[in-house]
Structure 1
Amino acid sequence: MKTIKIKLTVLTALCLVLLLPTSCKKGFFDAVPDNLVTVDGVFQNRAQTEKWLTGLYASIPDPWDMPYNYTSAITCDEMDASNWTNPALNSGAINADANPSGQNAYYEKIRLCTIFLENVDHNEEIKALVNGADLIKQYKGEAQFLRAYYYWLLMKQVGPVVISPLKSATPEDNFQIPRSSWDECVAFVLAQITEAENNLPLNNYITGSTTDLDVTKAGRINKIIVGAVRSQILLYHASPLFNGNTELSDFRNLDGKQLFNQTYNAARWKNAADAAKAAIDLAEANGKSLYKATDANPFKAAFLSCRDLFWNGWKAEGIWLRSSTAISGSWEASAAPRSTQGTAYNGLGVVQSLVDDFRMADGSNINSNAAYKENTYTSTATDYYVAGTNTMYTNREPRFYADVTFNGAVNPGIAKTGANNARVEFFNSGTSGKAGAPRDWPKTGYTARKNIHPTFSMSPSVTVTRPAMLIRLAELYLNYAEALNESDPGNSDVLKYLNLVRSRAGLPALTSDLGQSDLRTQIRLERRIELCYEGGHRFYDVRRWKIPNQAGSNQGGAFYGMNMDAGTSLSDPNFHVRTVAFTRAAWQRKFYFLPYGQNEMDRNKQLVQFPGY
């Protein structure tokens, strides 16, 4: 028979190779194509080894990619996109067969990280470089950190996880592995990232320099990133869901092993505070700071600081960056109103409770400020809204105008021609209203505005390329304030770091007459506003605080907005009526976590499902 040589791309070949044991008996295949890439071949070649390393980063979620946000922002009390999709978590139909977790992708990357760690030392081409030994060390640190980080992402979704052996599997291995307890999972991940930290550079410097950053290495793991992730892990570990949670006393392995500790440990909050402060100090010592724009008008300066942070401020504030992001094709297109040039999709509806949580310009809440009214209309136009806008949207804090598009708002991007498109019209017959499109309208009468560049256009396509910030300094400030308020109430740093975030946003500083409980409320509200729509923070915060069924943070039941079925003009009072926009399933305890996929349950008979699924 004529021999046929099969040509495969490296990616295809790797996919094939990874289905097999990493070594085979001689003669296992009678004939192997002479250009088939093997694992051994990959790790003998520098370029292929570094491609493998690059691929290990691929499953880090893009916070501005809507498929990712479908399991976070639109399944919590931030947004809705139910004209397009309504995840099973919202209806209560979620089950192990329709599992939205990243389980399979994360375990795949975990295995690929392990294979990398087992083989990278064999690369003589890299070792022969002048800095070869240092490169090998760094690459191993990155892979070890990423392996631990994928476990952490999985833990946030499904709780205590199955931890695989730290070696690449073979068909003869025992895959019947029970879940480790939550505390064991945290200890494992922390130990892994600490070990990895020893092999990582302080920052992503140009080779041979200790001061000049290499922009081509943006997002590569370094000690500053490790410190920030450690802060997040320890903050969660101290929180009520994971710290003495007797509500989950029935969550056990088949042998009766308790998977959540039942005794509250106050020391965890101190550990979280110490880790957050260490991460802040390290970041600031290496030039990180809150991004602040300048303007003669303090309100405008605060607005620009919050709006422009995502394209001008990432160099100052970004701790961990994701250089590849779907901002334009996914986020901006989905959030911008139809009056945007080229007609955006206009469907990421912000819920009324989040709109209400944004403060007034003086820092007060809408319920305590006599100037807040929902039945009058302004005769004054500003840079943020036009004359005729309902006064419920006037005199609000700067972040409100950076993060929420409302009826009467100035268009967030490049508007179509015509005065009616320069402003946003969500009332029924308006340019972005329900009557004008079968599905592309927000059920709540608001759309998300954060991270839409003012030059954004659908057609012609105009976007400003920028990385996504996976972790930024403001998050670390809020981590520290929260943990310190729990571990050392009254410590002056609580107000200091909370007020740094508030002041950047144009709000007056809080004073020291607030007690621990009031400060806890303010810290949680600050996270709600400052981090809205970003990386699933709200989705996980309400769960770790155990408040998903409380008024003001309810994750089920009725959600409100304006009346999209009414209104023929900007100032029509029939539109500006609080109306049930959609209803989600009542909160159930099982919604604290996503299920393990049924495929994994069927394979691993030692794996217990989270109660309720």
Structure 2
Amino acid sequence: MKKYFYNICSLIGVLMVSLIPMGCQKNYFDTQPDNIVSVDEIFANRGQTERWLAGLYAMVPDIWNADNFIYVFTNTTDELDVSNWNNPAINSGALNPSTTPSKFHNYYEKIRLASIFLERIDDNEEIKALVNGAQLIQQYKGEARFLRAFYYWMLMKEVGPVVILPLNSGTPEDDYQIPRSSWDECVSFVLSEIAAAKEDLPLNNYAVGSTTEIDETQTGRINKIIATAVESQILLFSASPLYNGNSEMADFRNLDGKQLISQTYDANKWKLAADKAKEAITLAEANGKGIYRVNDADPFRAAFLSCRNLFWDGWKTEGIWLRTANDISGYEIRVAPRATQGTAYNGLAVVQQLVDDFRMADGKSISESNNYQEDQYTNTATPYYVAGTNVMYTNREPRFYVDVTFNGSVNPAVPKSGENNARVEFFYTGNSGKSGAPRDWPKTGYVARKNLHPTYSVSPSVNVTRPTMVIRLGELYLNYAEALNESDPGNPDVLKYLNAIRTRGGISALPEGLNQDELRKEIRLERRLELCFEGHRYFDVRRWKIPNKQGSNQGGAFYGMDIDAGTSLSDPAFHTRVIAFTRAPWQRRYYFLPYGQDEMDRNKQLVQFPGY
């Protein structure tokens, strides 16, 4: 562990040339070089101290970043496949401590740097001398303390119960042979740290001297609204089957026999989760947040625009925690079809099961509806698909056309010249089909569409800048509905908040009278659809303990259309269900990522999750 300590210390020098600008800089998560390398000098200088704090934000997740998020998490679920470009070890069955994609190194680095900040910020006389200096230092402490707890939470989501380091930054002589804390201990620690941080945080990111005017240059900085939303996430996870009375984890113990996952179910955890979700919603709505909606005379169009435009127009309304620096442009070039002006990459393939899970326009599933057919083709064109499109893609719910690009879709971006490029063709010889490029085609015959701006173009380059919503109000509504259905089935708020998401998406409200099991199924489906591609599915199927269940299996054979067939839009040869790709069968060890082997070698008190 001394080696680990020195590695961390060496990072400080590196960090000083890659810290993030703060103050009035708009790109709060961006980096810029700096030549100051002395910690004493940094904490004597206001600008450098603030840059240190801003650097702590660098590991806040960007769900649209391919390398750091999509390829690690979304690409390993029953949402997407990107195996033409990237096939993670968990998909091939080769996941082990040496191939783990866990960011535990990065999280522990930020945790230590946050501790150093908390120890040294009071040394900054330049900040203290400001008129609002004491207030600034208090706020900065709250941000750093929250981020330290948040990175523990991110690590817990990846590896389960974690090793909690001393709160002081420590020295090379300290004993870092530390076992994992139990899950419940980790939760208690993180929640207590966030609660303490909230005492020092502002309610919202107000301009200096105001309690009503929002300072947009501080977008993304931690406040009480964000912190409470994160508390909602933590308590929801902690109440879920993976962590709450899970006898399947009886063998997950420390070397001294200490149980790391509780074997006793605690129903009160669901109540705590419900109460915190409602608190987060109330706080957000009291400060101007709401479910984003677009008005249109056509209800279907209104729902479509509400869900589509949410990501570039609705974030001010619905966004709770925003990340201003992101890789949305890198995501857009990967999902735009090759028929897009400038030729995009066309490769984040949507799994057939997700396509099938989207409902029909009347709210029925495809198995319940008489309108769903796979051997017929429409003669009618709409703003969403062209004449000749297979009927399986017609009369679907509005979010289907927001989230999925299919054979016959109207091009979701700016098309190349030529009549056929106004539509998307995924059949073999089509404008975005397999025959046109070595690897830039979707194995399933579908590409993700969510958060692709309609003005997007590769060349000339057109990218509409907008923040990533790390947390949005729609998620909090679903958190609340889920936790309340488990803690107080029959409470009318379950339907109220669930139906708010359904009706925004163009689906009729569920009626009263559904039992707890029926509502649980509907809530889980709603999370599946409403939050698809936003980084939730990987964790949801695990915390619900359903990754090997029919309809949510994370391994085995996955289906799509036959991309090796078809020479025309309405060719039945393409519209045939085939196995698009196969992943390693689900194994219990995939509930958590392993700690890296180097960490196991350093810390002899650290136990690996069973199976690795």
1:212-611 residue pairs with structure 2 within 5 A?
Answer: 212-328=213-329, 330-534=330-534, 536-611=535-610
User: Distance between the aligned counterparts of 1:482 and 1:148, measured in 2?
Assistant: 24
Moved more, 446-455 or 161-170: 161-170
Which residue does the alignment assign to 1:85? 86
Residue 593 of structure 1 aligns with an amino acid whose one-letter code is F
Give, as a single letter, the amino acid of the residue that structure 2 aligns with 1:426.
Answer: F
Instruction: Give the Å deviation of 1:169.
Output: 2.2
Q: Deviations over 1:465-504 (max 9, x none)?
A: 0000000000000000000000000000000000000010
Say whether residues 1:194 and 2:195 are aligned partners. Answer: yes
Q: In structure 2, what residue type is equivalent to 1:66?
A: A
Q: Distance in 2 between matches of 1:600 and 1:196?
A: 29
Alpha-carbon RMSD across the aligned residues, in angstroms, is 1.3
Identity of paired residues, percent?
A: 70
| Contact 1:14–1:38 under 8 Å retained in 2 | no
SS in 1 for 2:127: helix
Q: How many angstroms apart in 2 are the aligned matches of 1:14 and 1:577?
A: 53
Aligned to 1:5: none
What letter matches 1:303 in structure 2? F
What stretches of structure 2 of length at least 5 have no aligned partner? 1-9, 19-34
Per-residue CA distance 1:338-366 (angstroms, 9 max, x = gap): 11111000100000000000000011100
CA contact (8 A) 2:408 2:423 kept: yes
Structure 2: distance between partners of 1:425 and 1:118: 59
Quick one: structure 1 residues 55 and 414, their matched pair in 2 at CA, closer, same or farther if it must change by over 3 Å? same
Q: Secondary structure at the match of 1:319?
A: strand
Q: For residues 38 and 402 of structure 2, what CA distance do their matches in structure 1 show?
A: 51
In structure 1, how many angstroms separate the alpha carbons of the residues matched to 2:454 and 2:443? 24
TM-score (norm 1): 0.95
Amino acid of the structure 2 residue aligned with 1:475: E
Residue 13 (structure 1) shift: 3.9
Q: Which amino acid in 1 is paired with 2:303?
A: A
SS at match of 1:583: strand
Q: AA paired with 1:573?
A: P
Query: How many aligned residue pairs are there?
Result: 586
Query: In structure 2, what is the equivalent of residue 27 of structure 1?
Result: none
- The aligned residue for residue 69 of structure 1 is 70
SS of 1:305's equivalent in the other structure is helix
> 8 Å contact 1:404–1:450 — kept in the other structure?
yes
Distance across 2 between alignment mates of 1:243 and 1:414: 48
Q: SS state of the match for residue 392, structure 1?
A: helix
Counterpart-to-counterpart distance in 2, 1:164 and 1:354: 40
Residues 352 and 559 in structure 1, CA contact (< 8 A), matched pair in contact too: yes
Within 1, Cα distance between the matches of 2:261 and 2:282?
32
The CA deviation at 1:11 is: 9.3
Measured in 2, the distance between the counterparts of 1:507 and 1:351 equals: 22
Q: Measure, in 1, the Cα distance between the counterparts of 2:551 and 2:423.
A: 30
302-311 or 169-178, which moves further after superposition? Answer: 169-178
Over residues 436-466 of structure 1, what are the superposed CA-to-partner deviations in whole Å (9 max), with x where a residue is unaligned? 1110000000000000000000111101000
Aligned partner of 1:38 in structure 2 is 38
Question: After superposition, what is the alpha-carbon deviation per residue over 1:105-160, rounded to whole angstroms, capped at 9, x for unaligned?
Answer: 11100000000000001100001101000000000000000000000000000000
CA contact (8 A) 1:162 1:179 kept: yes
Q: What whole-Å deviation, never above 9, does each CA across 1:65-111 have from its counterpart, x for those lacking one?
A: 01111111110100000010100010110010011011111110000
Structure 1: gaps (5+ residues): 1-9, 19-34
Kindly indicate whether the alpha-carbon contact (under 8 Å) linking 2:334 and 2:345 is maintained by their aligned counterparts in 1. yes
How far off its partner does 1:513 sit? 1.8
Aligned CA distance change for structure 1 residues 17 and 528 (closer, same or farther; 3 Å): closer
Is residue 167 of structure 1 aligned with residue 193 of structure 2? no
Q: Match of 1:59?
A: 59
Q: Measure, in 2, the Cα distance between the counterparts of 1:222 and 1:16.
A: 25
Provide runs of 4+ in structure 1 moved above 3 Å: 10-18
* Paired residue type of 1:553: S
Secondary structure, in 3 states, of the residue corresponding to 1:183? helix
Q: Which digits, 9 at most, give the CA deviation of each residue in 1:386-442, with x for residues without a partner? A: 000000000000000000000000111000011111100000000000111110000
Aligned ranges for residues 81-230 of structure 1 at < 5 Å? 81-230=82-231
Shift of 1:17: 11
State the alpha-carbon separation in 1 of the partners of residues 17 and 168 from structure 2: 16
**Stretch of structure 1 that moved more, 234-243 or 36-45:** 36-45
Distance 1:399 1:162, change over 3 A: same
Q: For residues 254 and 37 of structure 1, what CA distance do their matches in structure 2 show?
A: 41
CA contact (8 A) 1:557 1:583 kept: yes
